[in-house]
Structure 1
């Protein structure tokens, strides 16, 4: 359970610690303070941090369902009629792809023996 007033109090104290050392010019001391701060952060991490499901490390990260392109070729003609412009352009693009393929690699030889 998050107690907002306690969280805010700790945030103000942390901000004050940063402000006290913001003008530090000694790089050796600044590096040591950075290492001490990283160590303190690591020691105060929750053992089981909260992660949103779709964020990196979450249980649903990169679990988008992928439908292959050929699935659209399996649509019934009545389904295709719902999106006539899309499927008209799709057929045009498929023909353009075949033309580009044949220009680059030549016509495929049809061999019944595979």
Structure 2
């Protein structure tokens, strides 16, 4: 649930987040490079116009207004990177689980001797840490 906010963001962090999301909205609305660049430059100019605002009340009001405008102008099909959550290729090639390497033939493992030597050490360390924390597992498969 990475979409849930778990910490309070500072004003500067919220401004940066607003800027980044506004750029993504521009990418969703415009497809010609010239239009995208034009609106990105206009957006940056708008942010730079108020970047040294000394009055925090006005800065807060500008931030809230910007967040409101962003929500009002959301594209119905927002821009998503292909491999990001919501993208067309998300989860298409799930990562291979580590235990698959245990099924390799010894001749296959011999092609990568340093890797498998280091992996065996790490695997032993992991098992030792596990047994130290949780105790040895009872083997229920052998009677």
Q: TM-score, with normalisation over the residues of structure 1?
A: 0.58
Answering whether residue 39 of structure 2 is matched by residue 10 of structure 1, we say yes
In the comparison of the two structures, how many residue pairs are matched?
110
- Tell me the alpha carbon deviations over residues 20-61 of structure 1, each in whole angstroms, 9 at most, x when there is no partner: 323322222211111111111122221111212222333424
Q: Which has the larger radius of gyration?
A: 1
Answering whether residue 103 of structure 2 is matched by residue 74 of structure 1, we say yes
Q: CA deviation at 1:80?
A: 4.1
Q: Over the residues paired in the alignment, what is the CA RMSD in angstroms?
A: 4.1
Q: TM-score, with normalisation over the residues of structure 2?
A: 0.50
Distance across 1 between alignment mates of 2:39 and 2:122: 60
Distance across 1 between alignment mates of 2:73 and 2:82: 23
Q: 1:10 to 1:58 in 2, by over 3 A?
A: closer
1:1-114 alignment to 2 at 5 Å?
2-59=31-88, 60-61=90-91, 64-69=94-99, 71-84=100-113, 86=115, 89=117, 93=121, 100=128, 113=143
- Tell me the alpha carbon deviations over residues 58-108 of structure 1, each in whole angstroms, 9 at most, x when there is no partner: 342495233342x44433444344445555x379649956x958x9557x7
- Which structure's relative contact order is higher, taking Cα pairs within 8 Å and 6+ residues apart? 2
